Structure 1
Amino acid sequence: MTIARKKEFELDHKRWSGGITTQLAIWPEEADYASRRFDWRISSAAVEDERSTFTPLPGVHRHIMTLGGEMTLTHEGIRTRVLKPLSDVEEFEGEWRTTSVGRCTDFNLMLHAGFRGRIAPLHAADVTTLPSAPSEVVWYGIYFAADAKAAIRYDGYRVELSQERGDFVLISYRPRLCVDVMLSFSSSSFVPAVSAAVWRGI
């Protein structure tokens, strides 16, 4: 389990055409997003422009959710969808011509071929069993959208965390050995965190 605080990410903001993006996790360890050499990447972005065009990413399958504010996504010639914060998830291909309308903060998962995954909100007071996928390793990232306390039960151990908004926790585990991984939250926010799960798959 790796814990990264918000202040650590503030030193690594990158600008894109519509705002600022923050890389939360990338794999493998020697991966480089700028040269598009990565298997998967988890990030959050602040969309500052009312209208923006997404960076083309051929060969990458994308998942996106808004954390605050609303976004209308248009995939040219395919579909248009309005994303409500901390609720709706849109999946699309990186080679699609995608534009957005609306200022917001979003949460992103990018996957190259050979990897699968999903993103989802984590509700306060719920207990969530982490996925048991047919893979040697599963990566599970938790991005805190509000201050929250988390209790993580991991293969017979219990870890209690106190996280601030903008913090990120990444857990990697072998699902056949750690099928009892669970999370619970206590927070004044109904949705204090969002998650991204990644595993190898077709």
Structure 2
Amino acid sequence: MMNIQIIDKKEYVVSVWSGGKTTQICLAPPHAKFEVGEFDYRVSSATINLEKTVFTSLPNYNRIIMPIQQTLTLQHPDISQKKIVLQPFEIYFFNGDMKTVSYGKCVDFNVIYKPTYKSEVGVYSAKDVSVLKKGIVYILFAIQDIQLTFYKNGKDMVNLTLPKHHSLHVTNILDDYEVHTLSHIQDNVPVYIQVSICDNDYEKL
């Protein structure tokens, strides 16, 4: 058993920040504000329209960022002058209170979460099989139109279609499931992003 909710891209909350536009895919709790201390975790995608921007400081949060279109260069100038160049779908973890400067225009994918949680981000192609574990919250964000089939103990349990840029929120998982994907996109091209979030005391993410 599990709860599955498809979120239409029209339902996302879109806001403007100093460097571009952010599309909020998920915020927990649902009626929280995107302010320090007011939310547990947030999943979003942002468009960076400036060649150089400074990220908003988010003390007491951890962050995961990944460019999904074009490369993204980051720098933490208070710690090092070294620049970190991220290729599309390359994942990077950092602390929300670190001064972070970005270089280059791109579209990125973000997860922000309190240290009382653990989170991972995975990128899947049509040939990949994902495993959803009980007790963990999952957000699947479609990069392309996809069809998903959920299997439990080898049995086909749920079939659904997830259009491009829609997302799937899976909660209250009581059994482990395998997720298989069908897409018209060739097998080695990413078709969805999967975010997993759980309490810090969960045995293993």
Letter in 1 for 2:122: A
Structure 1 position 184 matched with structure 2 position 180: yes
1:91-102 equivalences in 2 (<5 Å) = 91-102=93-104
Distance apart, 1:127 and its partner CA: 1.1
CA distance in 2, matches of 1:99, 1:35: 19
Q: How many residues align?
A: 192
Q: Which runs of 5+ in 1 are unaligned?
A: none
Q: Which residue of 2 aligns with 1:168?
A: 167
Distance apart, 1:7 and its partner CA: 2.1
Distance apart, 1:165 and its partner CA: 1.6
Distance apart, 1:157 and its partner CA: 6.0
CA distance in 2, matches of 1:97, 1:195: 27
Letter in 2 for 1:150: L
Q: Which residue of 1 aligns with 2:5?
A: 2
Q: Which runs of 5+ in 2 are unaligned?
A: none
Q: Which residue of 1 aligns with 2:56?
A: 55
Q: Which residue of 2 aligns with 1:195?
A: 194
Cα gap change, 1:106 to 1:154, in 2 (>3 Å): farther
Secondary structure of residue in 2 paired with 1:7: helix
Per-residue displacement from partner, 1:120-166 (whole Å, max 9, x unpaired)?
Answer: 1012121111245xxxx311000111122221236866222222221
Distance apart, 1:113 and its partner CA: 2.4
Secondary structure of residue in 2 paired with 1:192: strand
CA distance in 1, matches of 2:38, 2:59: 12
Q: Which residue of 2 aligns with 1:141?
A: 139
Contact 1:131–1:197 (CA under 8 A) maintained in structure 2: no
Contact 1:67–1:145 (CA under 8 A) maintained in structure 2: no
Report the TM-score when normalising by structure 2.
Answer: 0.86
Distance apart, 1:34 and its partner CA: 3.7
Letter in 2 for 1:82: V
Q: Which residue of 2 aligns with 1:81?
A: 84
Cα gap change, 1:122 to 1:151, in 2 (>3 Å): same
Indicate the RMSD between aligned Cα atoms, in angstroms. Answer: 1.8
Counting aligned pairs with the same residue, the percent is 27
Secondary structure of residue in 1 paired with 2:11: helix
Report the TM-score when normalising by structure 1.
Answer: 0.87
